[in-house]
Amino acid sequence: MNAIPPPRVRRYRAIFLSDTHLGTKGCRTDFLADFLGSVRCEHLYLVGDILDGWRLRRSWYWDEGHDEVLRLLLSHAKAGTEIVYIPGNHDEMFRAWLPLNLEVAGIKLRKEATHQTVIGLKLLIMHGDEFDSVVRYAKFLALLGDGAYTAALVVNRWFNAARRRLGYPYWSLSAWAKRQVKGAVKAIDRFEAALAGEAQRRGYDGVVCGHIHHAQMRDIGGVLYVNDGDWVESCTALVEHEDGRLELLDWVAENQLSFFSSPTERARARPAPVT
């Protein structure tokens, strides 16, 4: 309808994002709304842990930032973007609905998906927690699997609020966990190899997943492994350009945003509405 997009709008063929953990205070809804309002795409894949456990937890958190993200997602669907929502382990309540093959407000609910890039690369899209068993001895990954993660994020926020007052730089919980927890690097390695192996076994050229909050794009034995990261700390997304080029976007680094700004400090001007 609106033929002339605002100058800030970026067009992609496909966007993949995961682990937004909406419904928790940890979600950077300010950055995510900024991102969703700045992009247009034909295909949008929500690769799990988008909504975080509303059925299971007492401390469901929702504010206007979360409203805004939801509104932008629905706007993209309304504007004609094909949206596929793949439930993860934090939004596994939707997995019970998978047999219904639901499409709600233009958003398709699927267990996994296949995306073919414009140059013919066949990608398997899945959240990835299905492979937790192969890395089950990793405490770092176990942490991501349950409520302890949300609790750790609360502590992280308080801790950083104090650091900010004392003039110290931002301290990243997940970066620390990855460094400190013995075997975390090996666990990430095993996770990546398991996902790439699954893609290869099923005849795909690559896999796009999330779950471990560790953005990555690399070749593993001739298979493309991509993890689109998260919107709690890393604020990353995978995009397919119109020419088929795949790129991991780091929204915070690229836009020089500060993790110190509270998600509730939403003074930033909103980009133009999705049309």
Helix then strand then coil, % of the chain, to nearest 5: 35, 20, 45
For tokens 């013995």, the residue is 182
Residues 209-248 that bind Mn ion (CB under 5 A): 211
CB 163, min distance to Mn ion, A: 27
Per-residue binding letters, 157-196, with Mn ion (x by CB under 5 A): ----------------------------------------
Closest alpha carbon to 259 in 149, 157, 175: 157
List 89, 117, 234, 236, residue binding Mn ion (CB under 5 A): 89
Burial per residue of 18-51, b for 16 or more beta-carbon CB atoms within 10 angstroms, e otherwise: bbbbbbbbbbbbbbbbbbbbbbbbebbbbbbbbb
Q: Could you give the 3-state DSSP secondary structure of residue 187?
A: helix
Task: Tell me the number of residues near Mn ion by CB under 5 A.
Answer: 5
* Residue choice 88, 206, 229, 263 for contact with Mn ion (CB under 5 A): 88
Binding positions for Mn ion, 95-154, rule CB under 5 A: 129
Q: Using the minimum distance from each CB to Mn ion, give the nearer residue, 109 or 274.
A: 109
Cβ atoms of 242 and 11 closer than 8 Å: yes
Distance, in Å, from the CA atom of 241 to the CA atom of 10, rounded to the nearest integer, reads 10
By CB under 5 A, is residue 49 in contact with Mn ion?
A: yes
Which window, 69-77, 148-156, 203-211, 226-234, contacts Mn ion (CB under 5 A)? 203-211
Q: Which region, judged by CB under 5 A, interacts with Mn ion, from 47-55, 66-74, 116-124, 222-230?
A: 47-55
**Is residue 66 near Mn ion by the rule CB under 5 A?**
no
- Give the residues lining the site for Mn ion (CB under 5 A): 49, 88-89, 129, 211
